[in-house]
Amino acid sequence: MFENLPKFVFFTGKGGVGKTSLACATAVDLVDAGCRVLLVSTDPASNVGQVFDTDIGNHITPIVKVPGLEALEIDPEAAAEDYRERIIGPIRANLLGNALNSIKEQLSGACTTEIAAFDEFTALLTEQALTARYDHIVFDTAPTGHTIRLLKLPGAWSGFLETGGDASCLGPLAGLEKQRERYAAAVNSLSNSDLTRMILVARPRTSSLSEAARTYKELAAIGVGNQQLAINGLMPDDALDDALALSMINRERSAIAAMDADLASLVQSHFYLRPENLVGVDALRRMNQPVNKIQAEPNHHGMTDLPSLSQLINGIEDAGKGLIMTMGKGGVGKTTIAAAVAVELAARGHEVLLTTTDPAAHLHETLAGDVSRLTVSRIDPEVETQRYRDHIMQTRGASLDAQGRAMLEEDLRSPCTEEIAVFQAFSRVIREASRKFVVMDTAPTGHTLLLLDATGSYHRDIMRHASDTTARMITPMMRLQDPKQTKILIVTLPETTPVLEAARLQEDLLRAEIAPYAWVVNASLAATDSAHPLLVARAKTEIAEIERVQKSLSLRYAVVPMQADDPVGAGRLHCLLKVR
């Protein structure tokens, strides 16, 4: 599939572009060529286990159907628990209850969870006893924004340790200090072209290729130079007189021709759209083979009267205000659905704020212009972190002497500061929903769950120290749990793995006492009239997944048809509201 791969191979890119499929297929291809391979997922919402129909989890697991292949899904929560125990275990017997509880509290946040997962990641790059067992270690990474942050962490934490910072992350730093040499080695491995290759995966879409170009530049800026481009999911050239197929082909070829010049200069590999879901070893082995001709069948779709997004918005509109959050795995179209809902509510005369917590989201590109009664914002981690640091220095730092201010500034350079800053911005946006409609496009599942975890931790802390005054407070978590104030839309694609992942997300939300309002099944071929044999075959695979959503996963749902044109701009976003 790919030639002359080095020891470490990373697949990264915008969510939903096929990173997992390509990573899994590459791992199988390498094993078939006689190599011993470890396949690692760093995605908090990993689905490698579903692809191989194997329970993998946070430990190295042999893939029985592919002798020579082992896999690991880095589970942030399990990693955090192991990490906490490594720090607390040796000193537990010497600590009084209050001191022990204080350390546990310091190690309970999302920051520790991120560091723990990162700690496992660096071990896979640097521990000779582990890496020597394999010819290749293939990484299936989280969606771009999360991955860029992960790859920047070696430098961020190394720099923080070099300056001696320690105040706000005492617990995490107790472990980080011991790993200083490992983090330096990880930085060297990532920047060594003989050891590491970064494969940027993109769909043949303008937005996806633009994201790949941004990723290329960000990776190059941190010293990751050995990159190549994989364009996945291309339509075959023969449109067979089908309007949707012809439009998809023209759109894809135009996007490729107009891609960023630096991105276009990379070595490229192209992979065509498959008629099947890429689940199972046999399907993975077929991924790099030609697509066989498939005969269309009469009445091929078998689904009628599918509920539309417009019908779903009717129910949302009744409240006249409130928070609407689109959630789901990366690449399922959360940004597009959020924009379509916001534009439609504004068209109906409501004041609407459209915002995002996704580091890789670009709402302005989706809207492609101003919309009356619609305001757009973004919770930018860098901006929010700087705003938070400035506020702390102007308040807490105002009464400190020069030495005290220097210590406070050092403390605020901790990467953990970002967690607090983003949560505060998130809370401000939630409060806006008490006056108007706020439509929030969230980061991919794993990142969003970490944000909700921080929200829940804040809520529990407030309730634990509640007085008569604070008992009457409405915390952000309470707003999220109130169906009158918040409506969660789980967005998915009509494919096996995205639906399984969305179901897992729903279970996580329900455990937090947050009940999703509805599901949105996006980019459905079964909701179109295409007669192209390949698209017909894909449509047939969707039926069971749409029926599963309808019968067992949600009381409300909507189906959004695959679009002939990129849904960019208010006019094309409006096309998402209706099915055929």
Cβ-based neighbour number of residue 266 at 10 Å? 18
Range in 84-88, 433-437, 516-520 with the lowest mean pLDDT: 84-88
Pick the more confident residue, 144 or 410.
410
Which residue bears the tokens 């998809």? 248
The predicted pLDDT at position 31 comes to 97
* In the chain, % of residues over pLDDT 70: 78
Structure tokens at 165: 């910072």
The predicted pLDDT at position 470 comes to 43
Structure tokens at 159: 């720099």
**Taking a C-beta distance cutoff of 8 angstroms, is the pair 429, 355 a contact?**
yes
pLDDT at residue 422 is higher than 70: yes
Report the CATH number of the 309-383+427-577 domain: 3.40.50.300
The predicted pLDDT at position 157 comes to 45
What does the radius of gyration of the chain's CA atoms come to, in whole angstroms? Answer: 24
If residue 252 lies in a helix (H) or strand (E), which one and from where to where? helix 243-257
Q: Which CATH class is domain 8-285?
A: alpha beta
**Taking a C-beta distance cutoff of 8 angstroms, is the pair 520, 492 a contact?**
yes
**Taking a C-beta distance cutoff of 8 angstroms, is the pair 1, 212 a contact?**
no
Pick the more confident residue, 159 or 19.
19
Cβ-based neighbour number of residue 375 at 10 Å? 16
pLDDT at residue 256 is higher than 70: yes
Q: How confident is the model at residue 379 (pLDDT cuts 50, 70, 90)?
A: confident
The predicted pLDDT at position 296 comes to 46
Q: Cα dist. 50→41, 465, 538, 548 in Å?
A: 12, 42, 19, 17
Q: How confident is the model at residue 462 (pLDDT cuts 50, 70, 90)?
A: very low
Cβ-based neighbour number of residue 91 at 10 Å? 12
Average pLDDT over residues 25-39: 96
Structure tokens at 292: 């066989």
Range in 151-155, 252-256, 387-391, 544-548 with the lowest mean pLDDT: 151-155
In DSSP notation, 318-345 reads TTSSEEEEEE-STTSSHHHHHHHHHHHH
Active centre residues (catalytic): 16, 18-21, 43, 497
Q: Are strands 61-62 and 69-73 parallel, antiparallel or unpaired?
A: antiparallel
pLDDT at residue 311 is higher than 90: yes
Q: How confident is the model at residue 557 (pLDDT cuts 50, 70, 90)?
A: very high
What is the pTM for the complete model shown?
A: 0.72
Average pLDDT over residues 516-541: 93
Domain extents in the chain:
8-285, 309-383+427-577
pLDDT at residue 409 is higher than 60: yes
Residues 6+ apart with CB under 8 A from 89: none
